[in-house]
């Protein structure tokens, strides 16, 4: 016992004098030792936080669903609403939700910090319910565009808050795995929208059902968040320490509350002592991190995956393939990649997965480009032979 007290005392002496508040966690540990209570070193049970993470990923499921909900039914929608053959109108129906998502994602940080994570989820579910209802009942193009825009605001808010919430409520040893759930939920939402759109050719007005169906998970998200834990990080920053302790106990178990709160205290002091100005994100010390992260995300979008999700039915039909079956395989391929990332995330790390995934994409694109160049060369030679 004396050895443990001496070790804690030595830790106290090594503490920097410029920040006396940093002795909180050491004093807490010393108190636990003096009371004969062992500090919990084992990992908390992942089962406690899993239901809360599962509910949060419903927002990502809805994001994926609304991305692909007009893929298969687009032709039927254009026929019923009177803009068949108008490519501009069809493009607007597909992309209008992205305009709303831009607004939702821009405001997501302020909303999450202002009203809390749980209410932010409920606020993201509300426009998804309203917008889907407008799209399902509209009789003209304007109504469809309005509904898609309203849905988009919820799409922009939900996944951003989900990423923040999952990070804050999950134990560190499964944080990467839980983070992968967000992408898996998005893939499942895409697959769901593609599957439910298959009967649209046989059943008149089926595209309206596709929109009505999305209200169910949105309503579940809104109601289930009442029973989910609020983010202890947010509560602590608001000065509601007692509530943060209660939420930690709900998420991690009683034996991990004190250590988690001490860690949270250290993180909070680090945030206060290292204030980052917006200018530093553009040309300061944090520019490299921001540039790499933004570039990786931009390259992912520029790969054309979103165009596949939006117009794969039209592409496959023009190639003479069954769009329903082909869309299912697209969804399965996307889902398999996310599952592999989930399994390897906490084993190999983020950097290794990024390097291998982008390297594989580059290899595939180089082979595709090589084939295209060969085809163009053969086509040119054939043309020259015909001319001669």
Specify the pLDDT at position 158.
Answer: 92
Return the higher-pLDDT residue of 32 and 358.
358
Please give the backbone phi and psi of residue 152, each rounded to the nearest 5 degrees, phi first: -60, -35
Residue 25's pLDDT band (boundaries 50, 70, 90)? very low
Identify the CA nearest to 145 among candidates 203, 186, 99, 184.
99
The H or E element containing residue 233 is helix 232-237
| Section 52-81 average pLDDT | 92
Most confident of 94-103, 213-222, 317-326: 213-222
Most confident of 184-193, 285-294, 329-338: 184-193
| Section 141-151 average pLDDT | 96
Cβ count within 10 A of residue 254: 12
Return the higher-pLDDT residue of 296 and 205.
205
Return the higher-pLDDT residue of 186 and 261.
186
Specify the pLDDT at position 378.
Answer: 57
DSSP structure class, residue 21? G
Specify the pLDDT at position 194.
Answer: 85
Q: pLDDT averaged over the chain?
A: 78
Return the higher-pLDDT residue of 277 and 18.
277
Inter-residue long-range contacts of 47-52, CB under 8 Å, 24+ positions, other chains counted: 48/250, 48/251, 48/252, 48/253, 49/169, 49/170, 49/171, 49/178, 49/251, 49/252, 51/228, 52/169, 52/228, 52/229, 52/251
Percent of the chain's residues with pLDDT above 70: 73
pLDDT digits (tens, 9 = 90+) for 87-113: 899 889 988 998 999 999 999 989 999
Cα distance between residue 311 and residue 316, in whole Å: 9
Cα distance between residue 84 and residue 68, in whole Å: 19
Has residue 24 got a pLDDT over 50? Answer: no
Cα distance between residue 367 and residue 373, in whole Å: 10
Q: How many CA atoms lie within 13 A of 152 on its CB side?
A: 19
């Amino acid at each position: 016992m004396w050895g443990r007290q001496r070790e804690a005392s030595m830790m106290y002496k090594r503490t920097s004098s410029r920040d006396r508040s940093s002795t909180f966690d050491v004093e807490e540990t010393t108190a636990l030792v003096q009371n004969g209570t062992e500090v919990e070193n084992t990992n908390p049970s992942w089962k406690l936080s899993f239901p809360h993470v599962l509910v949060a990923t419903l927002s990502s499921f809805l994001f994926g669903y609304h991305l692909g909900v007009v893929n298969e039914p687009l032709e039927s929608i254009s026929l019923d609403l009177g803009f068949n053959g108008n490519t501009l109108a069809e493009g607007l129906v597909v992309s209008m939700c992205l305009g709303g998502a831009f607004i939702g994602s821009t405001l997501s940080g302020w909303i999450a910090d202002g009203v809390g994570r749980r209410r932010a989820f409920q606020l993201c579910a509300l426009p998804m319910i309203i917008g889907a209802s407008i799209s399902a009942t509209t009789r003209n193009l304007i109504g469809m565009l309005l509904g898609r825009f309203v849905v988009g605001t919820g799409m922009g808010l939900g996944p951003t808050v989900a990423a923040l919430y999952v990070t804050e409520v999950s134990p560190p040893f499964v944080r990467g795995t839980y983070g992968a759930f967000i992408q898996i939920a998005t893939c499942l939402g895409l697959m769901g929208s593609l599957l439910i759109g298959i009967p649209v050719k046989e059943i008149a007005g089926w595209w309206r059902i596709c929109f009505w169906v999305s209200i169910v998970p949105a309503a579940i998200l809104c109601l289930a968040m009442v029973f989910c834990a609020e983010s202890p990080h947010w509560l602590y920053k608001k000065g509601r320490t007692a509530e943060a302790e209660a939420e930690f106990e709900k998420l991690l178990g009683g034996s991990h509350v004190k250590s988690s709160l001490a860690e949270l205290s250290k993180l909070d002091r680090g945030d206060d002592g290292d204030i980052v100005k917006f200018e530093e994100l553009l040309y300061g010390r944090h520019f490299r991190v921001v540039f790499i992260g933004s570039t990786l995300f931009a390259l992912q979008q520029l790969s054309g995956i979103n165009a596949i999700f939006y117009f794969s039915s039209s592409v496959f039909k023009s190639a003479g393939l069954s769009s329903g079956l082909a869309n299912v395989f697209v969804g399965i391929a996307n889902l398999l990649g996310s599952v592999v990332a989930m399994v390897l995330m906490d084993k190999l790390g983020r950097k290794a997965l990024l390097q291998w995934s982008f390297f594989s994409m580059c290899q595939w694109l180089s082979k595709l480009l090589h084939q295209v160049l060969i085809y163009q060369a053969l086509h040119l030679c054939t043309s020259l032979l015909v001319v001669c």
